[in-house]
A and B are shown apart, each in its own frame.
Chain A
Amino acid sequence: MLRKRQSAADWSYDVAIGVTAAIALAILIGPVLVVLATSLTEDRSLRFPPTGLSFQWYRELFDASRSYPIHRAATNSLTVAAWATAAAVLLGTMAALALARSRARWARSLDMVFMSPMILPGLAFGLAALMYFTFLGFRPSLQLIMIGHALVIVPFVLRTSSASLSQLDSALLESSASLGASWFYTLRRVTLPIIAPGIVAGAFLAFMASIDNVPISLFLSGPRSDMLPIRMWGMMESTLDVRVAAVSGVLIGSVLLLMLLMERLVGLTRRIRG
């Protein structure tokens, strides 16, 4: 009797959890598929279901003269992301080396401070950065966007390289030191090679976060420093430009490709999970 009631309860658990999880999965994947379907439509407007299969939006997107502003925004975004990631990797890895293995109160608080851009409203910082650079006499430029991006993407590098560092066996460092290796030699030949996958995973996440960044680009991009997300926003805002679907299709393809590559190289998802 008891056994029977229990299995009925377990059955209701399996159904409730299973159904909700299926909804969650559909909500996660569905929109991606919808975007891909939309990008292959013949229509001039966004109607569902798409009426015919065509690559016209991709052709138009890759047309160098008609889609020049999109190409320029994409180039700007890639350039900024590359430099911002380089800066974030350098600063973030150094900070991780200083902080990850310390239990001291100052180290924990500094770590929290450096992680704060993950939580603090990016828009407040974007506005603050715009006013700050304007008061210093700068005009909006890619360099300023790069500085802003670097600070908000550092948390990704800091997190993954700290995680790798905390798993690093300190006996390795001590034996390297006791065999007479200098601090820098140990760093170069022991520490960095071991934590390299963590740094690469963090760099990849940071790069994607920079490409995706809206709050800072929104305030610091100008006519000569247009960024891809801001341009796409402009394309969606007034009259919807279906080339957005093609840009989205290209982005989805690139993200999938890069994710598979990173999964192979450094076990990306495992590192994100922690």
Chain B
Amino acid sequence: MTSVLPGRASRAAGISQWLRPAEWQLALPMLAAFVAFFATPLLLLAAVSVFDDTQITQAGFAMWRKFLGDPFYWKVTFDTLKLGLMTVAATVLIGYPLALVYLSAGPRLQRLLLFIIVMPLLLSVVVRTFAWIVILGHEGVINYTLLSLGLVPAPLRLLHTEFGLVLSLTQIEMPLMLLPLISVMHRIDPNLRDAAAALGASKWRTLFTVILPLSLPGLVAGCLLVFASSTTAFISQQIIGGNRLVYLPLLIWQQSLVVYNWPLASVAALTLLVSVTAVIVVISALGRRGSRHLHVA
């Protein structure tokens, strides 16, 4: 094959062929670090979960039996997934229209909107959580507004409620929904929208038959990121949800750093890992099925 190429090109081809092994070798340090410090600890997590005692001497499935046999732990797992799904639903409902506005905005407004969306993402989660204490508190922004408008007779309890937590997580996770959405949307050929309008489709119809299907990959990516992030958002869950709303992260923290029951903490951590991964697999499968019916691209 190379013999038919002229001299210089064949030398280049020879060099690039010689380079190919060198290029994949560049991934080796990262791979080594990953195996040593990511994969091995996670395997260890699985190993620790099959010990019966907190001293980690007696192997057995006692902790798994305890976890799976107790309705409380089932409820905690279920609540954690429910919290993630509610946050996903809220960020889609409120975030998607903003992405649509971004799409139809001029370049200057687009830059400003992008800046506003990225800014909270770079701001510490703890700061964003703190903001919501001030907003949801007994003497906070929402209660002040409602009271001074005379809409409620007494301050509402918003902190330490699931509603307050979902509201806060909606803001905290919104950039993770918007960024993949915007990055997919702005690659949609504007001619498609114009064509739909020229053919007499209303804006609603264009949204549901053109833009929504084409933005599906971004929507799915956003859902995955928001779900993964909100289910593991320990500080937001603990501070805004309080200690009465128990989610898997709180359970993992209590069992590992307060009670020092590492096997049970490992069981809870694996449950979080497996259940979150399962939901993610389902969401991406739904997304793939949705885009398979697409004949536009």
Contacts and interface: CB of A to CB of B under 8 A. Distances in A.
Interface string A199-235: 0000001001001101100110000000011001100
Contact of A127 (B101, B122, B130, B252): B252
A153 to B, nearest CB: 12
A95 B183 contact: no
A141 interface: no
A248 to B, nearest CB: 4
A45 B257 CA distance: 30
Contacts of B131: 31-32, 34-35, 248
Contact of B202 (A13, A17, A269): A13
B19 A130 contact: no
A29 B116 contact: yes
Nearest to A122: B232
A129 B37 CA distance: 7
Interface in A21-66: 21, 23-25, 27-32, 34-35, 38, 45-49
A28 B235 contact: no
A119 B283 CA distance: 13
Contacts of A99: 27
A33 B32 CA distance: 44
Interface residues of A, number: 99
B149 interface: no
Given A27-B174, A114-B30, A13 B125 contact: no
How many residues of B sit at the interface, in one of the four size bands? 35 or more
Nearest to B24: A98
B126 A232 contact: yes
Interface string B26-52: 110111011001101110110010000
B171 A28 contact: yes
Interface string B262-280: 1001100110110011001
Contacts of A265: none
A47 B115 CA distance: 30
B41 A131 contact: yes
Tell me whether chain B's interface is mostly helix, strand or loop, or mixed: helix
A47 B139 CA distance: 5
A117 to B, nearest CB: 7
Tell me whether chain A's interface is mostly helix, strand or loop, or mixed: helix
Contacts of A196: none
Contact of B126 (A18, A97, A229): A229
Contacts of B132: 31
A80 interface: no
A98 B124 contact: no
A18 B203 CA distance: 13
A226 B186 CA distance: 42
Which of B34, B174, B277 is the most central at the interface, judged by chain A CB atoms within 10 Å of its CB? Answer: B34
Given A13-B203, A237-B239, A132 B40 contact: yes
B118 interface: yes
Contacts of A131: 41, 44-45, 48, 262, 266
Given A218-B253, A256-B119, A272-B118, A17 B44 contact: no
Contact of B133 (A10, A29, A135, A236): A236
A269 B111 contact: yes
A1 interface: no
Contact of A91 (B33, B175, B200): B33
7 contacts: A119-B280, A120-B273, A121-B272, A123-B232, A251-B123, A259-B115, A272-B179
Given A35-B134, A183-B15, A269-B111, 4 more contacts: A17-B97, A120-B276, A151-B38, A183-B22
In the A-B complex, list the 9 residue pairs whose CB atoms are closest, starting with the nearest. Answer: A31-B131, A128-B41, A98-B27, A20-B97, A132-B41, A13-B203, A98-B26, A24-B98, A124-B269
